[in-house]
């Protein structure tokens, strides 16, 4: 019998070994899922699409083991449904798992101990170094596997010695969040043949409503702008903008050039920055107009440059340029839509 604390741990950290053990004990069948589980799974996917952490208000102070267990079971179901959708949403879902995990870690009263427990469950060997402040030492190999996910984990900014990386507590939590992103994305199914048809139908029937999609009613250089065809880098930057997060200058430049290249109107590009901290419309307009209407024709950075600047969240991306990715994904999306009609 699982304790309430164990269930909460599994709910907050769905990539953990404990989560897998609980799911194995539950032994659920995809052929006959409860509606409540499916509804929660769909809610989790919609949360990913909106760019917000998945934080259902009813769960935080719940004492119901059954309710928490239902949330835990809904996670693999959500992964199955996402696997039936497009690759862009897979990125968003993985990012949502990562950001939600980081949120929960940051709120732990014993944050370091919980982070160490999670690392242990993931099989990551670490050593705690106490020298006035807690530092966590881990293998360079483990670190570089996920470090390109978060600019703050850029290797050149870390203390490295004898094949080990030394991280402070908050960076260690960022490392675990990045690990969650890649573990989630790599676990999404490629082969859909074993998924019941009714689950595929549910996935296709999910209606998405978000600030992200509502900004793309215009037609661009390649026809109607499709946010689902954005490469992971641009989707991530754009989501950060419309969610009011602070975005680095290099990221702002690249999203502006990208949106301009695919034909988004200038006013719409400016509007994307309105929720960012310290927004100044006059300054933003000047910067956007300089890029979009100036004598020099600017282009978004190549994928190699995006990676070197820590702006590429997808280590599996093989594209050479964000525009090339967008054109290719757009062509596939349109072909799929025609075949379904």
Say whether both 149 and 216 belong to one domain.
no
Q: What's this model's pTM, rounded to 2 decimal places? A: 0.66
3-state DSSP helix/strand/coil % of the chain, to nearest 5 = 60, 5, 35
Query: Is 90 in contact with 231 (CB distance < 8 Å)?
Result: no
Residues 49-101: tens digit of each pLDDT: 777 789 988 887 888 999 999 999 999 999 999 999 877 788 889 989 999 99
Q: Does residue 166 share a domain with residue 221?
A: no
Instruction: Look at residue 170 and tell me if it is in a domain.
Output: yes
The parent domain of residue 89 ranges over 4-101+196-204
Determine, yes or no, domain membership for 188: no
What secondary structure does DSSP assign to 14-42, as a single string? TTSHHHHHHHHHH---GGG--HHHHHHHH
Cβ 173 vs Cβ 150: under 8 Å: no
Task: Tell me whether residue 147 is in a domain.
Answer: yes
Look at residue 120 in the predicted model and tell me its pLDDT.
Answer: 96
Residues 256 and 241 in one domain: yes
Looking at residue 300, its pLDDT comes to 86
The string of DSSP letters for 55-104 reads: --TTTTT---HHHHHHHHHHHHHHHHHHHTS-HHHHHHHHHHHHHHHHHH
Helix (H, G, I), strand (E, B) or coil at 160: strand
Same domain, 200 and 71: yes
Looking at the structure of the chain, the number of domains it has is 3
- 105: three-class secondary structure by DSSP: helix
Of 245, 252, 324, 320, give the one whose Cα is nearest residue 290: 252
CA Rg, the chain, in Å? 21
Cα distance between residue 108 and residue 5, in whole Å: 13
Q: In this structure, are 115 and 228 located in the same domain?
A: no
**pLDDT exceeds 60 at position 338:** no
Packed helices 65-83 and 197-204: angle between N→C axes, nearest 10 degrees: 80
Query: 309 falls in which pLDDT band (50, 70, 90)?
Result: confident
Cβ of 306: how many Cβ atoms within 10 Å? 25
Same domain, 238 and 328: yes
Tell me whether residue 42 is in a domain: yes
Is 123 within the bounds of a domain? yes
Cβ atoms within 10 A of the Cβ of 8, count?
18
Average pLDDT rounded to a whole number, residues 155-174: 92
Q: Are 175 and 313 in the same domain?
A: no
With beta carbons less than 8 A apart as the criterion, state whether 84 and 190 touch: no
**Per-residue pLDDT tens for 256-287?**
999 999 888 888 899 889 888 878 889 999 98
Same domain, 221 and 335: yes
Q: Are residues 229 and 317 in the same domain?
A: yes
Which distant-in-sequence residues (6+ apart) come within 8 Å of 311 by Cβ? 151, 233, 236, 237, 250, 251, 254, 301
- Which of 141, 169, 204 corresponds to the end of one domain? 204
Long-range contacts of 285-290 (CB under 8 A, 24+ apart): 287/252, 287/256, 288/256
Q: Are residues 15 and 35 in the same domain?
A: yes
Tell whether 30 and 136 lie within a shared domain.
no
Domain match, 227 and 134 both: no
- Averaged pLDDT of the chain: 87
């Amino acid at each position: 019998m699982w304790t309430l604390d164990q269930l909460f741990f599994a709910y907050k950290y769905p990539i953990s070994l404990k989560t897998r053990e609980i799911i194995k004990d539950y032994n659920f069948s995809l052929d006959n899922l409860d509606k409540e589980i499916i509804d929660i799974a769909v809610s989790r996917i919609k949360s990913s699409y909106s760019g917000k952490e998945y934080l259902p208000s009813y769960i935080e102070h719940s004492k119901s083991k059954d309710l928490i267990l239902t949330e835990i079971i809904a996670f693999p179901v959500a992964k199955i449904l996402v696997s039936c959708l497009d690759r862009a949403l897979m990125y968003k879902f993985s990012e949502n798992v990562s950001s939600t995990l980081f949120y929960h870690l940051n709120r732990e009263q014993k944050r370091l101990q919980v982070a160490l427990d999670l690392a242990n469950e993931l099989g990551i060997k670490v050593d705690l170094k106490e020298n006035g402040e807690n530092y966590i030492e881990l293998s360079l190999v483990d670190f570089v596997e996920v470090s390109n996910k978060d600019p703050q984990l850029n290797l050149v900014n870390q203390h490295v010695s004898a094949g080990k990386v030394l991280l402070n507590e908050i960076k260690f939590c960022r490392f675990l969040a990045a690990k969650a992103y890649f573990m989630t994305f790599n676990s999404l199914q490629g082969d859909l043949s074993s998924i019941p048809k009714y689950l595929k139908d549910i996935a296709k029937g999910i209606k998405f409503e978000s600030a992200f999609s509502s900004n793309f009613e215009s037609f661009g250089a390649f026809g109607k702008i499709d946010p689902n065809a954005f490469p992971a880098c641009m989707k991530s930057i754009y989501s950060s903008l419309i969610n009011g997060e602070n975005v680095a200058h290099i990221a702002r430049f690249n999203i502006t050039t990208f949106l301009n290249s695919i034909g988004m109107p200038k006013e719409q590009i400016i509007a994307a920055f309105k929720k960012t901290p310290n927004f100044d419309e006059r300054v933003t307009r000047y910067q956007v107009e300089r890029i979009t209407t100036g004598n020099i024709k600017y282009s978004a950075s190549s994928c190699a440059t995006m990676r070197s600047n820590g702006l590429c969240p997808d280590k599996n991306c093989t594209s050479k340029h964000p525009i090339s990715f967008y054109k290719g994904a757009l062509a596939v999306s349109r072909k799929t839509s025609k075949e379904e009609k």
